Chain A
Amino acid sequence: DAGVTQSPTHLIKTRGQQVTLRCSPKSGHDTVSWYQQALGQGPQFIFQYYEEEERQRGNFPDRFSGHQFPNYSSELNVNALLLGDSALYLCASSFWQNNEKLFFGSGTQLSVL
């Protein structure tokens, strides 16, 4: 039973570019959340998707957008990249009806030069 998988593991972009990160949830999970983790900090909630809709959003600008597909997988898109967007991006999955435990992937390390 595969856990949460994210791709790619590492990515290097330049300022102003756009990036798409991908996440496949743990088998059976229907809810996906995204977190940004800057170096030395705890993860910060970006947004959550369920039934292909954004259900909750953290304090992130509109440059951050997402999508959830019918198979529950998800994408995180970031436009007009800034140096400050360099971080580890984590995907977490859970059940919508029972979200006591979140299962996290190992993340995508994004470097913006």
Chain B
Amino acid sequence: DAKTTQPTSMDCAEGRAANLPCNHSTISGNEYVYWYRQIHSQGPQYIIHGLKNNETNEMASLIITEDRKSSTLILPHATLRDTAVYYCIVRVTGTASKLTFGTGTRLQVTL
């Protein structure tokens, strides 16, 4: 699986959009971009994933650049409950469910 690079930490004011970047310059053509988050004292939670098109669900939007070397997770209206560590992962789907986590981005949402 390709390696990802994320900022160590970010801050966001409540109600504002949180934009979390991820670099994955060595991504292969059959690798998807996944985002999980981990709220303190809980297991990771799936957020969204995509191949090359932008994706949106009830939790977030995922913007992938045309060359697929980077992506941005967007939480449109961050709340205090969105404070968590966010992990960007690239993996091939249809294979074993192994996820390779990095150290992620610690997002702190403040009043």
Asked if B98 and A45 sit within 8 Å, CB to CB, the answer is yes
Asked if B87 and A102 sit within 8 Å, CB to CB, the answer is no
- Chain B: interface residue count, which band? 20 to 34
- Chain A: interface residue count, which band? 20 to 34
Interface string of A85-96 (1 = CB under 8 A from B): 000001110100
A4→B49 CA distance, assembly (Å): 21
Q: Give 7 closest A-B pairs by Cβ, nearest first.
A: A104-B43, A42-B101, A56-B96, A99-B97, A101-B46, A45-B98, A104-B44
- Please, could you name 17 A-B residue pairs with CB atoms under 8 Å apart, sorted by A? A35-B99, A35-B101, A42-B103, A45-B98, A45-B99, A48-B97, A55-B96, A56-B96, A56-B98, A92-B43, A99-B94, A99-B95, A100-B49, A103-B46, A104-B42, A105-B43, A106-B43
**New A-B pairs, 17, CB < 8 Å, besides A35-B99, A56-B96:** A33-B97, A35-B101, A42-B101, A43-B44, A45-B100, A48-B97, A58-B98, A90-B43, A91-B43, A99-B93, A99-B95, A102-B46, A102-B97, A104-B43, A104-B45, A106-B43, A107-B43
